[in-house]
Amino acid sequence: MDLIPKPDQVVSAASNVAHRMLYGGVADLRAMPRTLIDEGMLREVYHYRPQGGVPEGGDPVLLVTPLAAPALCYDLRRDCSVAEHLVRSGRRTYLVEYGEVAFANRTLGMEHWVDEVIPAAVRAVSEHAEGRPVHLVGWSLGGIFSLLVAADRTDLPIASLTVLGSPVDVTKVPLIAPIRPLINLTDGGGLVTQLYRLLGGAPKPLVRRAFQLSSVDKLVTKPFAIAANLDDTDFLAQIEAVDRFTSNMTAYPGRTFGQLYHRLLKGNQLASGVVRMDHREIALADVTVPMLVVAGADDTIAPVAAIEPMLELVPNAASVRLEVVPGGHLGILTGRRARTTTWPALDRFLDEHAADRRAGRSRTRKRSAAPAKKPTAAATKSTAAGSGATSGPEAIGANPARRYGSASSRSLAARR
């Protein structure tokens, strides 16, 4: 809103304030309709039902929820929902989430999700989608778990893997750097270990506060931002939706939290390319499916520098593409700018690696007298980070040649 508000801004602001007072908010928080198709211990697999008369088809897309974060990350609010976007694009869209983690689940480790939950979800989705291969899409820890599954279970019907905001080198995370000496110091006496064992994991209030503090600058300036944008319905709706997301954080199971702390945070095993499970090791070099890696230019939890090493850790992937998009940790997935950055990049990637398209290319190669030599994974890697190089003239990324401003609800309405 301008320093001296225009008449239309005053009217919009008054309308938004009245709507919040009468109805509790301005955001459309209706969940996308979905049907439970499979379940197990801390595993619920849902199919999003087609909407708006758009029939679904093609390969299924499975959205993998991270631990401790609610599945709202994929269905934040109407017009800012990854699930809604995929469904209205005619894609078969599915979700795996875990429900409430209780003290009784404290003995469950990472193996439960890597060995059981995600593989079972992939099989259930493939069966529900007429045996088609599944495109895995995972945000944050959901992306890391999906990466481990793709490396460990090459027998699963996985068509491709998309990871968003998933750091592999935690030494490159600025938020962790100041406390790393403390981590090494307290770990020697087992203080952290005893604490999470006593609590049965990381409780919900602690998880919620940690997420809020990751963007402490936005937390501090939030009241001023709301006051300055009282006329922007879309901005206020996003604030409400993110608040609801944060308030619905769940707990980490004790043993899983311990593994994440010792192996990924303190040990930085992902950066080495090999992660220890109970009785085996998982090598990221065993990933063979095509990969899309998305990093946020403003992400403090998973900065670009912490994600880029992933490109070199999967040398046998059919292809690897890095897209650096504007936004923070949650914003790259479901922020207002994700509509014109992350989502189009995901759409292109899914279309490029659709089973029907791959079959067409295979038939073309069979008819060719001299088939082209398959490029190596290194040759097909592309990045929109740093130097401004892109993966093509229409690449989405944060680079000098292409800028993205934060559009207000008025500019969005003008485009519709």
pLDDT in tens, the chain (416 residues): 655 666 666 667 676 566 666 667 788 999 999 999 999 999 999 999 999 889 999 999 999 999 888 899 999 999 999 999 999 999 999 999 998 877 788 788 899 999 999 999 999 999 999 999 999 999 999 999 999 999 999 999 999 999 999 999 999 988 765 455 555 555 544 555 555 454 444 445 554 555 545 554 454 455 666 666 676 778 888 989 998 998 888 777 778 888 888 888 888 999 999 999 988 999 999 999 999 999 999 998 999 999 999 999 999 999 999 999 999 999 999 999 999 999 999 999 999 999 777 665 544 333 333 333 333 444 344 444 333 333 443 444 544 333 333 333 333 334 33
CA torsion 395-397-402-404 (nearest 10°) is: 130
Query: Which of 72, 64, 166, 66 lies closest to 121 in space, CA to CA?
Result: 64
Q: Which domain holds residue 265?
A: 31-203+251-415
- Please indicate, yes or no, if residue 214 is contained in any of the structural domains: no
Q: What is the pTM of this model?
A: 0.78
CATH number of residue 338's parent domain: 3.40.50.1820
Packing angle, helices 233-247 and 216-228, rounded to 10: 150
Q: For the chain, how many structural domains are there in total? A: 1
- Please indicate, yes or no, if residue 75 is contained in any of the structural domains: yes
- Is residue 121 within 8 Å of 60, Cβ to Cβ? no
- Please indicate, yes or no, if residue 342 is contained in any of the structural domains: yes
Q: What are phi and psi of 101, to 5 degrees?
A: -90, 120
- Please indicate, yes or no, if residue 172 is contained in any of the structural domains: yes
Sign of CA dihedral 388, 389, 394, 395: negative
- Please indicate, yes or no, if residue 245 is contained in any of the structural domains: no
Query: Which of 217, 238, 402, 377 lies closest to 324 in space, CA to CA?
Result: 402
- Please indicate, yes or no, if residue 233 is contained in any of the structural domains: no
Find the angle CA(290)-CA(111)-CA(130) to the nearest 5 degrees. 50
- Please indicate, yes or no, if residue 314 is contained in any of the structural domains: yes
Q: Beta-carbon neighbour count of residue 133 at 10 Å? A: 20
Question: How deeply is 22 buried, as exposed, middle or buried, from its count of CB atoms within 10 A (0-12, 13-18, 19+)?
Answer: exposed
Q: What are phi and psi of 95, to 5 degrees?
A: -140, 140
- Please indicate, yes or no, if residue 10 is contained in any of the structural domains: no
